[in-house]
Amino acid sequence: MAETYPINIWINEERFKALQDAGLAGLLKEELAGMKVLIVPCNKVQRDKVLQVYPMAKYDKATTKSIELLPKAVKDKIYAMVVKRKTLNVMDEFLSGKR
């Protein structure tokens, strides 16, 4: 299986409700004592583009093996796209047009 470089979007009540309404609550995973997280996969090309477009983010290869420290506003947009498209595979569309 190809390696993925996920983005973790942590879920509060507001985000949870929108996912539930869209019938997507089943996509959530639980981590750290029951915290809900939406794990959006990225491939290597998408990961590199994310890190290039958002230099404050970093790929944490030592511990979480995920793309971390993306600003909330960016994650809000990715999250909204997941809800709208009803799929986790949104990164190509999200990154299209971004330099």
Partner 1 sequence: MRLIGHGGKPLVERVISDKAAARKKIAGLKTMPASRQMATEAIGIAYGFFSPIEGFMGKADVEATCKKMELADGTVWSIPIVYDISNKEIADYGIKVGQSVLLTSDGHPLAIFDIDEIYTYNKEVIAQQVYGTKEEKHPGVARTYAYKDKFLGGKITLVNQPKVREPFTPYFLTPRQHRAKFAEKNWQRIVAHQTRNVPHSGHEWLMKHAFIAAHGEMPVEQMETMGKAISGVLVNCIVGEKRAGDYIDEAIVLTQDELRKAGYFREDIHMVSMTFWDMRYAGPREAVHHCIIRTNLGLTHHMFGRDHAGVGTYYHSYEAHHLLMSIPKEKLTITPIYVLEWAYCPHCGEVTCIGLCGHWKEMQKFSGTKIRSIIMDEVKPTRLIFRPEVFDVTMHSAKKYGFGSPFVTKEYLAKAKPAFSVGPL
Instruction: Give dist(CA 73, CA 27) in Å, integer.
Output: 21
Contact status: 72 vs partner 1 (CB under 8 A): yes
Contact segment (CB under 8 A) with partner 1 among 19-27, 39-47, 59-67, 90-98 equals 59-67
List 70, 78, 82, 91, residue binding partner 1 (CB under 8 A): 70
Contact status: 20 vs partner 1 (CB under 8 A): no
Instruction: Give dist(CA 36, CA 33) in Å, integer.
Output: 9
Instruction: Pick the closest to residue 43 from 82, 80, 6 (CA basis).
Output: 6
Instruction: Pick the closest to residue 7 from 64, 52, 84 (CA basis).
Output: 64
- The token duo for 33 is 């004592």
Site string for partner 1, 31-50 (x = CB under 8 A): xxxxx---------------
**Interface residue list for partner 1 (CB under 8 A):** 8-12, 31-35, 56, 58, 60, 62-64, 66, 68-72, 75
